[in-house]
Structure 1
Amino acid sequence: MDVDALRAGTPGCRHRIHLNNAGAGLMSQETLDVVVGHLRLEAEIGGYEAADAAAERRARVHSGLAELLGGRSDEIALFDNATHAWQAAFHAVPLRAGDRVLTGRNEYGSNVLSYLHLARRTGAEIVVVPNDASGQIDTYALAGLIDERTKLIGLTHVPTAGGLVNPAAEVGRIARAAGVPYLLDATQSVGQFPVDVEEIGCDFLCATGRKFLRGPRGTGFLWVRSGILDRLDPHIVEIESADWDGARGFDWVPGAQRFATWELNHAAVLGLGAAVDQALNLGLDEIGKRNSELGDRMRGLLEDIPGVTVYDLGQRQCAIVTVKVDGVDSAQVVTRLAAEGVNVTSTVPGHQQFDTEDRNPPPLIRFSPHYYNTEDEVEHAAALIGAMVNKPL
């Protein structure tokens, strides 16, 4: 991987040390040119006409995402964000009073709110599977909790507030053996390392374009296994997802397109396609290897600083690193790093509610390097944290 060339093609690398890729990765110049170019075309010839002119390239976005995930292009639906993609899958699973949804302690905050809303609205039961000793979902406990009432397993692959990588493929093996649909939130994993839906064995997967894929904001997607479609009842129906039958009924369109909506930001979609192509060209194995090395380096440097506590869990960890600096408010650390030209963010308990119930972590500083970051940048950021410990405000 030619890191110097990648940085030269990433405008944001010239002015900042960007360690907030779990929030939003830096777009490449190539992706930026695609987005701006389509916006200009819309301004010059009209939005509908520009969409028609880009029809083949839009189709390539579906096939590129399918290649990225190991699925088929007709199993992909595009959304404006990952949360809407997740909700489209979740609310399509028929659930009623007495049904059970199994999920993990590290589930993302918006997903948790949807679970709570479902329980309030229908009387379905949300069962939180405990963690094992390492802090990842306990797959033995998961298998033991499945019964005839279990209608869905929902799992966040990589949480928003830590470097944990949940054992998604083992969960998939359990779900397949039990015949229970399996919804995987891969928002923080797609683009960071290889993610293969066949290897994992999930039935749904949602993700975003803006994070480790380095696409534009306002893009998301859903993969739906074709074999599960006849068990689903999509929550929203519109002219892109269904065909009027000429009377007082309709038919769902084939494949995952039944979850899609007609209106999209076509410039952002094309930018997502450019970002996906870049990831495919670089190779997810190489990307994953580079990111793992940077995450390990970041974590190791911070662990060696007295007064800094690393909060990452799990047997396998990734390029997201969360820490607490003794005596310094985490939001204040973010502000002080920003003043030094380093982008990071902080976590809040409301974004990972079930984890907060369990271990009640404080707000944490989240570092998330990506393959275009350098070892020098990682070391500089760690040195700044060390200086804050020695000279707190």
Structure 2
Amino acid sequence: MTLDIDHLRADTPACLQRIHFNNAGSSIPPTPVLDSQIKYLKLEAEIGGYEAADATQETLEAFYTAAAGAIGGKPQEIAFIENATRAWDMVFYAFDWQPGDKVLTSRADYNSNMVSYWQVASKYGVEIVMVPDDESGALDVAALERAIDDRVRLISVSHIPTNSGLVNPAAAIGAVATKYNIPYLLDACQSVGQLPIDVAEIGCTMLSTTGRKYIRGPRGTGFLWVREDWIERLEPPLLDNHAAPWVSVDRYEIRKDARRFENWESNFAGKIALGRALAYMTDLGMENIWARIKLLSGTLRAELSNLPGVTVWDPGQEKCGLITFTKDGREPKDIRDRLRASNINVSVSTTQLTRTEQRDHAVDATARASVHYYNTQAEIERFVEAIRHL
């Protein structure tokens, strides 16, 4: 299958007005996704919120099948969560942390995850070990294996850090986790929708992701996947009468499926729209999407690297659709703001999102351009010229 870029851009009318290179922040949803969300909200306004949920129960349930199919899981292993961070939190804080427990993570893990690591370190006496990088800048899998002992309770890694185009070796990490029978939490916030994901091939135990990035769903949506044999080993840190029905005056029973990590009230319009976005993505084919993103990002990365005064900061052997860069004499925020004034969207990774080696070079912020399949070579050329003439 070849992607019909003209059709995909027609489904994304904003392409006529601006260049959107901020897909790793929040993609622009295609029209069918937007329409599904608006249609549901209108139904709520017409007949009532509870009534709308009852009338669309089959469509709401279809989300679980779509999410499971997107990552090679099962519908009962999926929980709809309002964002990737909260999805990640629901399993990380479900562990019964004890003094001396050890968590192995990467030096480039997401900053919200880092906050949680150090919170449990402070609160429970857990040891947080940031595994060194290899020569390419990715997590060193051999060093990860050397760090394993009988105190390791969890391996937790961001597949694609938010602050660079690096793709960490998720499957190789999974092989180590499987070998030593250690649970493995994969933060796939930037990878689901960008590259093919199969949880069985990766070997992870839990996976969290968002709807707003490469899946092209709405903000305020995400999901959690927990491998079936681990669901009942994890008691969610928060429960309500959806996650754990109240069965008698003094007793509740926690659900046996992954919906134990949900709560009763949620973004129903967002769930329907996320399900539609997942179906849209699946219809296009992840291999096709990934090939297109690699082609565009490789071109953009090379073109930027050739510009005088521009430094591209992406490490790793395998790179993705995120391109982080700086330009001599220009603050990244200034680059973002001047591009935005020309209807070109990028984002900025500030101090707490930059990698350690960037700080070693006194780089406390970078500009980040992130492409998707609906972007074009012509947009890349215009973008590069805009950077050249800043």
Interval of TM-score (by shorter of Structure 1 and Structure 2):
over 0.9
- Kindly state the Cα deviation for residue 231 of structure 1 after the two structures are TM-superposed: 2.6
Question: CA contact under 8 A between 2:231 and 2:256: conserved in structure 1?
Answer: no
Question: Does structure 2 conserve the Cα–Cα contact (< 8 Å) formed by 1:109 and 1:352?
Answer: no
- Look up the match of 1:123: 125
2:79 corresponds to which letter in structure 1? A
Letter in 1 for 2:199: V
1:347-392 residue CA offsets vs partner (Å, 9 max, x unmatched): 012135766676664310100010000110011101111112xxxx
- Find the counterpart in structure 2 of residue 391 from structure 1: none
Among 160, 164, 178, which residue is 1:176 paired with?
178
Q: Percent identity?
A: 44
Contact in 1 for aligned 2:79/2:223 (Cα 8 Å): yes
Please name the residue that 2:332 is paired with: 330
SS in 1 for 2:253: strand
Matching of residues 1-393 of structure 1 within 5 Å: 1-352=3-354, 361-388=363-390
Report the RMSD for the aligned CA atoms in angstroms: 1.2
Whether the 8 Å contact between 2:354 and 2:365 is mirrored in structure 1 is no
Q: Secondary structure in 2 aligned to 1:322? A: strand
Whether the 8 Å CA contact 1:88–1:235 is kept in 2: the answer is yes
Code of the residue aligned with 1:345 in structure 2: it is S
Structure 1 CA distance, aligned partners of 2:125 and 2:163?
29
Give the Cα separation in 1 of the matches to 2:87 and 2:231: 15
With over 3 angstroms needed to count, the CA separation of the structure-2 counterparts of 1:80 and 1:358, relative to structure 1, is farther
Post-superposition Cα deviations, 1:34-89, rounded to whole Å, max 9, x if no partner, equal 11110000000000000111110011000000000000000000111100000001
Q: Secondary structure at the match of 2:303?
A: helix
Residue identity opposite 1:56 in structure 2? E
Name the amino acid aligned to 2:43. L
Unaligned runs of 5+ in 2: none
Alignment size in residue pairs: 388
Deviation (angstroms), 1:149: 0.3
SS in 1 for 2:35: helix
Summarize the Cα distance change of 1:232–1:354 in structure 2 as closer, same or farther, 3 Å threshold.
Answer: farther
- TM score, norm. by length of structure 1: 0.97
Aligned equivalents of 1:171, 1:202: Cα separation in 2: 9
Q: In the alignment, is the contact (CA less than 8 A) between 1:181 and 1:203 conserved in 2?
A: yes
Contact 1:66–1:72 (CA under 8 A) maintained in structure 2: yes
Q: Map Cα deviations across residues 160-219 of structure 1 (whole Å, 9 max, x no partner).
A: 110000000000000011111100000000001111101100000000000011100000
Question: Does the CA-based 8 Å contact 1:310-1:321 persist in structure 2?
Answer: yes
Q: 1:313 to 1:17 in 2, by over 3 A?
A: same
TM-superposed CA distance for 1:127, in Å, is 0.7
Pick which of 265-274 and 228-237 moved more: 228-237
Contact 2:88 2:208 in 1 (8 A): yes
> What code does the residue aligned with 1:110 have?
S
Residues 254-291 of structure 1 deviation map (CA, whole Å, 9 limit, x = unaligned):
21111111111111111111110100000001000000
Task: Return the letter of the residue paired with 1:211.
Answer: K
| Paired amino acid for 1:324 | T
4+ long deviations beyond 4 Å: 352-360
Q: Provide closer, same or farther for how the CA distance between residues 169 and 20 of structure 1 changes in structure 2, counting only shifts above 3 A.
A: same
Question: Given residue 102 of structure 2, which amino acid in structure 1 is its aligned partner?
Answer: R
Please state whether the residue corresponding to 2:296 is helix, strand or coil. helix
TM-score (structure 2 length as normaliser):
0.97
Cα pair 2:185 2:207 within 8 Å, conserved: yes
Structure 2 counterpart SS, 1:296: helix
Unaligned runs of 5+ in 1: 389-393
